[in-house]
Structure 1
Amino acid sequence: MNSQWNALLKNLGEWQGSFTRLSPQGELLGDTKSVVSLEGLNNNQTIRQTIGLDENEKVLEYSSLGKGVLFFENGAFSQGSIQLAPFSEFGAEFGFIHGSRRLRVVQLFDKNLKLDSFTLIREHLAQTQSSQNPVLTVDALLGEWVGEAVTIYPDLQKPDSYSTQMHLQLNNGKLTQSLSFANRTITSTATLKDSILLFEQNQVQVLLLPDGASVTSPFQAQLRQPLFLEVGWLINPYLRQRMIRSYNDKGEWVSLTLVTERKG
């Protein structure tokens, strides 16, 4: 069994929770109770996945992984579009796992490549206590975060690992973010509007969500320009994970990065 399949197996079990659909501005569009079961068959060589949403149930069985999905060793993953193309829907799912809890977020763009909707999925293993973090706030993110990043690639070339440092400070209603990684430092400024951070210089928004989640998206995906989608999870006040799915200027999915960072 390869390492990708072994990482998938970290997600085995019955996950109970909810699928919450949100507009790009974070408005509630719908909320559905969910039970998602991943069961290993044939000595874990086949996965049976049962997805129950209210009264509807769908069963999938598979023995290999699709081209659009990658897993990290701890079971975290992302699956989605491998190509940004005109007149086609575009999007991705990001999944984090920590103990008996999972947090997943789906970002979707319409056929004009405009940000369309999000789905926030909060889950816990059956027979475990259901617990959730508060809605994420800017105050919870302020300060110095030091982390380690791992980047993996669709062609399964050797992963890259490097240190990261992020500093967030708030001055007169403006958030300044300084991010250092791989001998580069990027500084950007955002305006806080309700539960949204607007980075106007690169036309990107960060939506702050329940359970310590955040989702970073362009307002409009642009052809012939590189782009990234990101989801974060504040697992506890001093531990955060972020996952970044990157596309090049040809619209090709080129890498997936998981950052695990701790507050200094």
Structure 2
Amino acid sequence: MTSQWERLLQNLGEWQGSFTRFSPQGELLQDIKSVVSLQGLNNNQTIRQIVRRQGQEDLVLEYSSLSKSTLFFENGAFSQGSIQLAPFTEFGAELGLIHENYRLRLVQLFDKNGQLDQLTLIREHLAGTEAAESPTLQVKDLLGEWRGEAITIYTDLRSPNIVSTTLKLELDDAGRFVQSLSYGKHTITSSATIKGSIIHFDQDPHKQMQVLLLPNGASATSPLKVNLRQSFILEVGWLIQPNLRQRMVRSYSDKGEWTSLTLVTEQKV
């Protein structure tokens, strides 16, 4: 099995793209060009990371180990962020997917009261390759049956768990969005209202979740509020091709602790 450090090396290179900030309601707030370079030094024992954003000072980082707030999958996909939800502190995480010459990253931030505050979508391609331009994700792109595999890695570094998944997405007669997710012996069904680019799961008033449909086939699944003593997830989705989708889920326990990270790769059948 590859080490976490070896998995990080899948992200080496110069990534050109943009940081696009949205409000929780999906309004575009800011779009700035970016170049992020990750360079290996001393036989890749050290990484130098330079983040250049239009109109901002360069951010230069050098590191030779990874923090507990970060986990990587074998293909280089990763997540980093808060490892614990605490009262009156800002909270958030980044979820990063990678496919061939492209990366899609999403940062979800919550304010000191636990309210969803802002989202940043980062779309990148390796220097020397074409930028991928695909339109904003639509509900119709998601409808159908998706079958795939979910790999879960754990913060306590126990062995990964791999299960087959089936996700059925449809509209009912009332126009509600119905989601049925099966994995192992479990099936979870939930329904939501659709309003523009937002799919709002409103069945449980204490656990309001939304899926925000974003450019380049991206989607952001977030609680509207993160609450103490209540488990929750943060998720990014990426429709890479019309019949190929990846999702990454960062899971928190009812103690507010980050426990696991799941990467789902699924195909429409």
Q: TM-score range by the shorter chain?
A: over 0.9
CA contact (8 A) 1:11 1:75 kept: yes
CA contact (8 A) 2:84 2:256 kept: yes
Q: What corresponds to 1:232 in structure 2?
A: 237
Q: Distance in 1 between matches of 2:63 and 2:190?
A: 43
Q: What corresponds to 1:181 in structure 2?
A: 183
Matched residue of 2:210: which SS? strand
Indicate yes or no: 2:213 matched with 1:208: yes
Provide the TM-score with structure 2 as the length reference.
Answer: 0.96
Structure 1 counterpart of 2:257, one-letter code: E
Q: What corresponds to 2:197 in structure 1?
A: 195
Structure 2 counterpart of 1:197, one-letter code: I
User: Equivalent residues in 2 for 1:119-138 (5 A)?
Assistant: 119-138=120-139
Q: What corresponds to 2:32 in structure 1?
A: 32
Q: State the shift of 1:132 in Å.
A: 2.1
Structure 2 counterpart of 1:164, one-letter code: T
Provide the TM-score with structure 1 as the length reference.
Answer: 0.98
Q: What corresponds to 1:105 in structure 2?
A: 106
CA contact (8 A) 2:168 2:181 kept: yes
Question: How many residues end up aligned between the 2 structures?
Answer: 264
User: Equivalent residues in 2 for 1:81-92 (5 A)?
Assistant: 81-92=82-93
Structure 2 counterpart of 1:233, one-letter code: W
CA contact (8 A) 1:223 1:250 kept: yes
Matched residue of 2:133: which SS? coil
CA contact (8 A) 1:133 1:236 kept: no
Q: What corresponds to 1:22 in structure 2?
A: 22
Cα deviation digits, residues 215-236 of structure 1 (max 9, x gap): 1011110100111111100000
Q: State the shift of 1:123 in Å.
A: 0.4
Structure 1 counterpart of 2:42, one-letter code: N
Indicate yes or no: 2:247 matched with 1:246: no
Q: State the shift of 1:131 in Å.
A: 1.5
Q: What corresponds to 2:227 in structure 1?
A: 222
In structure 2, runs of 5+ residues without a counterpart are none
Structure 2 counterpart of 1:19, one-letter code: F
CA contact (8 A) 1:77 1:95 kept: yes
CA contact (8 A) 1:92 1:108 kept: yes
CA contact (8 A) 2:82 2:258 kept: yes
User: Equivalent residues in 2 for 1:27-176 (5 A)?
Assistant: 27-55=27-55, 56-171=57-172, 172-176=174-178
CA contact (8 A) 1:215 1:231 kept: yes
Moved more, 130-139 or 95-104: 130-139
Q: State the shift of 1:130 in Å.
A: 1.1
Q: Distance in 1 between matches of 2:139 and 2:83?
A: 32
In structure 1, runs of 5+ residues without a counterpart are none
Q: State the shift of 1:121 in Å.
A: 0.3
Q: Distance in 1 between matches of 2:213 and 2:54?
A: 26
CA contact (8 A) 1:245 1:255 kept: yes
- Segments of 4+ in structure 1 off by > 2 A? none
Q: State the shift of 1:2 in Å.
A: 5.7
CA contact (8 A) 2:15 2:124 kept: yes
